[in-house]
Amino acid sequence: MLGRIRQLFWKIATLFRSESWLLKKVRHEAQALKDELEGTLTDKAVELLLYAMDVAFLLLANYRRNLRGFTGSYVLRTADNKVAASALFANQKMSVRREAIASPTVTVTFKTAQALRRFLSAKEPDILDSLLANDVEVEGNLNYVYKFCFMARDLTRRLGIS
């Protein structure tokens, strides 16, 4: 519920504020993400990343170009299912769910919470590095993971938290 209210706030804010102001606000949210990653609550980190992505799509026209013509769905989870979130992309929009959806395009399972943290806090998150380190299993179309990693890195670069 809180998440929906915040999204509504941001949608209204886009109508009245400059992109630079909004970017500053998103950066503030992103700092919260960074603090989260440095803390112990990894279960929130995935959701925060997806939330930040969602907000960025709302606010940043250039970033929104990543959604053009793109349809796909992701589940990011840990092997013990303590962390699970889903991202759905369709019709130039993104939606985030706090649980694993059925039949996603791709499921990325991090074998431990530490593996998830390593991925999210990496200077440049790279799924191939995670595969090499045996940190993850990918079920589904790996190409979609490549795209997701581009969007995640693009976001962190824009927000200055990489």
Note the residues at the interface with other proteins (CB under 8 A): 65-66, 68-70, 72, 124-129, 131-132, 134, 137-138, 141-144, 146-147, 149-150, 153-154, 157
CB of 40 to other proteins, least distance (A): 24
* CB nearer other proteins, residue 6 or residue 153: 153
CB of 135 to other proteins, least distance (A): 12
* CB nearer other proteins, residue 10 or residue 94: 94
3-state helix/strand/coil string of the chain: CHHHHHHHHHHHHHHHCCHHHHHHHHHHHHHHHHHHHHCCCHHHHHHHHHHHHHHHHHHCHHHHHHHCCCCEEEEEEECCCCCEEEEEEECCEEEEECCCCCCCCEEEEECCHHHHHHHHHCCCCCHHHHHHCCCEEEEECHHHHHHHHHHHHHHHHHHCCC
CB of 122 to other proteins, least distance (A): 11
CB of 8 to other proteins, least distance (A): 29
* CB nearer other proteins, residue 10 or residue 135: 135
* CB nearer other proteins, residue 27 or residue 140: 140
